[in-house]
Structures are given as structure tokens and as C-alpha cells.
């Protein structure tokens, strides 16, 4: 048995509607029950013939019916029992559909009376149906019959019209759903086209950036290659230009050291090896050193003159061949004799010549060091 129920809105949850598919003799039937506060409406429809039986009962009729069976039930309790039978929620109640003849036979068996002959087929009693609510107790079975007069068959014209209306509603709903689906599909296609266009623009932009990055990479690689070649060329040129320098520098250093050693001065530090940076020229220190050397040369000259000077006689000093001459730096009187050799005068001029030569060598050395710094 298939069943279903629905409720109409209301404060008292009324009316209450139930429907179930029941297997009665001679075939399947649909039972519909509508319950209000004081009314019960029952409708049974045969599936094969579409015959319809319908009955409506008030609370007083239902309670009087239960009283006649000897097992009284209130209207609300009877409706609850009928609902349990339709929904098959209880084993104590069930439903049967009988004709008038079937009902008479059942009554005769119960009371033990002789069965009376059945009425003719044209009798209104034979066209009725009785929906029996069977209540099973421990030692007894109570039958509550609900008489249902024959209501005929449904109007085919009205039924077709109703079906056409339902079909039109279904078509309209289908068209609405189809249009909704079309709109959703069109929107999805538009979004897809917009996304594809955006992706294409991004792809072209990324491709252009990639090409630009590759071009920049090639330029940088070419520049690195050129700089590497220039660096190698500079290194080769530096090695070639620096190769004869140590010999000239060694010769200058040897001459300076020999000159300083002849004067008793300490030799300066040797130049740094090839490839290291030489010390920068200090003009102030150079001027001071030059002044110190000039003073030392003048002191040595004074000492030489003192050592070579001899005591002269009065006649020698008064001789006409002697003429006093001031010295170049200290303005001392010097006596010239006729027998004096020119080599001594040259020796007195040697310190100035040596100093000039030293200055020239130092100047050349400084220029060479400056040129090395420029190349580096």
C-alpha cells in the first residue's frame, strides 16, 4: 500500500488530507481521506474502471456507528485509527472494501443467521461500497463500516481539459527553464570569450617581455665578451709596457744608492715588485729632503775647504798675484794662487752638479710612476 498525506494551513492544523494506494478486491484502488474538526470525507477510486465512491460523515454519525458495534470510539480517535490504517503504522487496524452483498454475508456469519438473497444489480444498494475499518483486539475483531454511495465516473471532457491545462503549465515551466538555461549558457560563453581575450593579451604581453629580455641578455653577453677581450688586451699591454721598467728603475735605484752610500746616507726602500702599486710622490717631503741635502753638501764643502786651507805667509798674502774672491754660498774669502790647478775648482762644483742630476732622475722617476698609475 502506498500512502501520502498533506495538511492545509490553519491554527488547528485543519483540514487534514491523506491519500493511499490500497489493494482491494477485485483490483487496486486509491483512498482519499479529508478530515476537518467535525467532518470526515472518504473517497475511493478504482484504477481499472475509474469508478468513484464518495461519502461524507459528521462526528455524530461516526460516534453512533461505533456505538452500534459495541466498541464506542470518539470522532477524533476514530479518525486517528483510520489514518493509522492508511499509513500502515499499526498492526491493530486495517482496511477492507466490500459490496452490500459481502457485508450481508459477513453479518450473517457473525450472528449465525441464514443468508438472504442478494439484491439486483440495478439496486442502489448493490452500487454502494463499504469501506470497513477493522479493529483487531486480543479475542475479537470489530468492523466499522463506512457506506460510500456510487459517484459515477469522472467527466472525460473536464479531465481532458484539466490535463491540457497541466500540460500547458508544464510547457510554460519548461520554456521558462529552457530560457533560463539559455541565458546562463550565453553568459557562460561571454565570460569564456572575455577570459580567452584577456589571456591572449596577457600572452602577447608576456611574449614581448620575454623577447625583450632575450635581446637584453644577448646585448649583455656581447658586452661582457667585449669587456673580457678589452681586459685581456689591457693586461697584455700592461705586461709589455711594464717589462722594461724594472731594468731602468733598477739602474736608477742603483745609481741613487751608490750616490747615497758615497755620502754616507741610508739607501731608500727598493721599489715594489712588478704589478704592485708604487708609493705616491710627496712634493713637501721631496722639497724638505732637497733642502737637507743642500745643507749637507754645503757643510761638506766647508769641511773640504777647511782641510785644504794652509797658513800663508805675509809676503804670500801680500803678493799681487793673490786676489780675494767670495765663495758662492758662504761668502768666505778664498785666496787664489798662481799654481792652483783647475781640478780643485771642478771638485768644488761637483755637489751642485750631482744634486741637479739627482733632481732630474727623481723627476723622471716620478713621471714614470704617474704614468703607471694612469694606466692602472
pLDDT at 320: 44
pLDDT at 138: 81
141-148: strand order across its sheet: 93-98, 129-136, 141-148
Q: Does domain 2-154 have CATH number 3.40.190.290?
A: no
pLDDT at 27: 83
Q: Return the residue matching grid coordinates 515551466.
A: 173
Checking phi first, is residue 301 left (phi over 0); if not, alpha (psi -120 to 50) or beta? alpha
pLDDT at 319: 44
Mark the ranges of the chain whose per-residue pLDDT is less than 50: 1-12, 268-275, 312-349
How far apart, in whole angstroms, are the C-alpha atoms of residue 37 and residue 13? 10
Dihedral sign (CA 106, 108, 114, 116): negative
34: nearest Cα among 3, 2, 5: 5
Checking phi first, is residue 149 left (phi over 0); if not, alpha (psi -120 to 50) or beta? beta
pLDDT at 348: 47
pLDDT at 204: 93
pLDDT at 288: 83
pLDDT at 205: 93
Cβ neighbours of residue 37 closer than 8 Å, sequence gap 6 or more: 12, 14
Cβ neighbours of residue 44 closer than 8 Å, sequence gap 6 or more: 24, 29, 30, 31, 32, 52, 53, 54, 97, 129, 131, 148
pLDDT at 261: 56
Span 303-321, pLDDT tens digits: 876 665 555 444 444 444 4
pLDDT at 298: 87
Checking phi first, is residue 75 left (phi over 0); if not, alpha (psi -120 to 50) or beta? alpha
pLDDT at 321: 41
Cβ neighbours of residue 71 closer than 8 Å, sequence gap 6 or more: 135, 142
Dihedral sign (CA 83, 89, 91, 92): negative
pLDDT at 356: 77
pLDDT at 344: 46
Q: Return the residue matching grid coordinates 470518539.
A: 74
Q: Are residues 42 and 16 in contact, defined by beta-carbon separation less than 8 angstroms? A: no
Break the chain into its structural domains and give their ranges.
2-154, 155-243, 268-308+322-375
Q: Which residues pair with 177 in a beta bridge?
A: none
pLDDT at 306: 66
pLDDT at 249: 58
pLDDT at 251: 62
36: nearest Cα among 6, 64, 13: 13
pLDDT at 137: 84
Amino acid at each position: 500500500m502506498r500512502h501520502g498525506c498533506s495538511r492545509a494551513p490553519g491554527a488547528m492544523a485543519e483540514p487534514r488530507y491523506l491519500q493511499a494506494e490500497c489493494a482491494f478486491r477485485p483490483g487496486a484502488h486509491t483512498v482519499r481521506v479529508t478530515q476537518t474538526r467535525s467532518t470526515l470525507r472518504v473517497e475511493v477510486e478504482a484504477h481499472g474502471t475509474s469508478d468513484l465512491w464518495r461519502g461524507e460523515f459528521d462526528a455524530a454519525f461516526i460516534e453512533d456507528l461505533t456505538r452500534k458495534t459495541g466498541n464506542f470510539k470518539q470522532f477524533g480517535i476514530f479518525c486517528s485509527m483510520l489514518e493509522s490504517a492508511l499509513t500502515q503504522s499499526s498492526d491493530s487496524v486495517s482496511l477492507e472494501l466490500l459490496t452490500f452483498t459481502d457485508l450481508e454475508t459477513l453479518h450473517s456469519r457473525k450472528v449465525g443467521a441464514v443468508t438472504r438473497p442478494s439484491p439486483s444489480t440495478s439496486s442502489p444498494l448493490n452500487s454502494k461500497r463499504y469501506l470497513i475499518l477493522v479493529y483487531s483486539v486480543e479475542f475479537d475483531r470489530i468492523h466499522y463500516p463506512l457506506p460510500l454511495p456510487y459517484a459515477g465516473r469522472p467527466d472525460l471532457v473536464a479531465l481532458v481539459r484539466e490535463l491540457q491545462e497541466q500540460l500547458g503549465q508544464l510547457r510554460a515551466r519548461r520554456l521558462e527553464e529552457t530560457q533560463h538555461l539559455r541565458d546562463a549558457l550565453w553568459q557562460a560563453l561571454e565570460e569564456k570569450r572575455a577570459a580567452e581575450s584577456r589571456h591572449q593579451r596577457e600572452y602577447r604581453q608576456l611574449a614581448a617581455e620575454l623577447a625583450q629580455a632575450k635581446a637584453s641578455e644577448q646585448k649583455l653577453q656581447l658586452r661582457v665578451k667585449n669587456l673580457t677581450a678589452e681586459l685581456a688586451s689591457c693586461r697584455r699591454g700592461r705586461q709589455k709596457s711594464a717589462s722594461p721598467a724594472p731594468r731602468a728603475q733598477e739602474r736608477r735605484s742603483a745609481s741613487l744608492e751608490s750616490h747615497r752610500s758615497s755620502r754616507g746616507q741610508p739607501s731608500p726602500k727598493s721599489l715594489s715588485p712588478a704589478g704592485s702599486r708604487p708609493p705616491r710622490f710627496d712634493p713637501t717631503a721631496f722639497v724638505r729632503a732637497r733642502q737637507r741635502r743642500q745643507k749637507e753638501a754645503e757643510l761638506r764643502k766647508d769641511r773640504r775647504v777647511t782641510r785644504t786651507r794652509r797658513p800663508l805667509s805675509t809676503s804670500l798674502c801680500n803678493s799681487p798675484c793673490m786676489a780675494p774672491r767670495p765663495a758662492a754660498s758662504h761668502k768666505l774669502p778664498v785666496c787664489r794662487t798662481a799654481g792652483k790647478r783647475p781640478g780643485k775648482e771642478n771638485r768644488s762644483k761637483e755637489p751642485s752638479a750631482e744634486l741637479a742630476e739627482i733632481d732630474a732622475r727623481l723627476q723622471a722617476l716620478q713621471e714614470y710612476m704617474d704614468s703607471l698609475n694612469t694606466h692602472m
